[in-house]
Amino acid sequence: QKEVEQDPGPLSVPEGAIVSLNCTYSNSAFQYFMWYRQYSRKGPELLMYTYSSGNKEDGRFTAQVDKSSKYISLFIRDSQPSDSATYLCAFNTNAGKSTFGDGTTLTVKP
Amino acid sequence: GAGVSQTPSNKVTEKGKYVELRCDPISGHTALYWYRQSLGQGPEFLIYFQGTGAADDSGLPNDRFFAVRPEGSVSTLKIQRTERGDSAVYLCASSFKRAPGNEQFFGPGTRLTVL
């Protein structure tokens, strides 16, 4: 069983829609929870990072963590065509390396 | 300032050949990571350096893979006797100090194709 399961997608939504991206994990040692955005043929870039259960908001993006259910989500409000990319959830223990989900590809149509 | 750079951007080689992939981290970043990303999958951890030493090499798939960071800055990932299954994008990332909480900045990757 993989440590991280991410909703596979692909996901296609109209501009302005609210998008929900989700991951579950099994490793209780994961303490840090991240979302990366990856455009085609580019490296991942960090969008959101949190270490506690609850919500964290940054502009149109909200990261939600539920440690008891081992479930994290990323919400995108008022989605834009420029949000079209692959979104990766990622997890860290105290050991340094990150464990990634396989990504959800999002297309926002004008 | 400059981000993480990786060279070459693309590398095509034949099965059995030796390849070297280079990573230039952001200046001052002490931690450096190598990941491998296959098509349709997330990055998979290979090795992590703190300074010059490999702090965790548990992700290296076998002894054909080796990485060095002799002066604590530039790193080279070396693959011997390449196999077709080694074809992937090899990503390098660096952070100012040891993760977990610190942001890892990724380079654009080297796309390796083994024919």
Question: What is the reported pLDDT for A97?
Answer: 84
CA-based nearest residue in chain A for residue B111:
A41
A85 interfacial to chain B (CB closer than 8 Å): no
pLDDT in tens, A35-61: 999 999 999 999 998 888 899 999 999
Under DSSP, the state recorded for A52 is: S
pLDDT in tens, B33-91: 999 999 999 999 999 999 898 889 999 999 999 999 999 899 999 999 999 999 999 99
Half-sphere exposure of A33 (CA within 13 A, CB side): 27
* Average pLDDT score over residue span A85-94: 91
B108–A103 C-beta distance less than 8 A: no
Q: Which of B104, B110, B111, B113 best tests the A interface by mutation, with the highest count of A CBs <10 A?
A: B104
pLDDT in tens, B15-24: 999 999 999 9
Are B82 and B11 contacting, i.e. CB atoms less than 8 angstroms apart? no
pLDDT in tens, A29-40: 898 999 999 999
B48 interfacial to chain A (CB closer than 8 Å): yes
Query: Longest Cα pair distance anywhere in chain A, in angstroms?
Result: 42
CA terminus-to-terminus distance, chain A:
38
Residues in chain B: 115
Which chain A residues have a beta carbon less than 8 Å from that of B105? 46
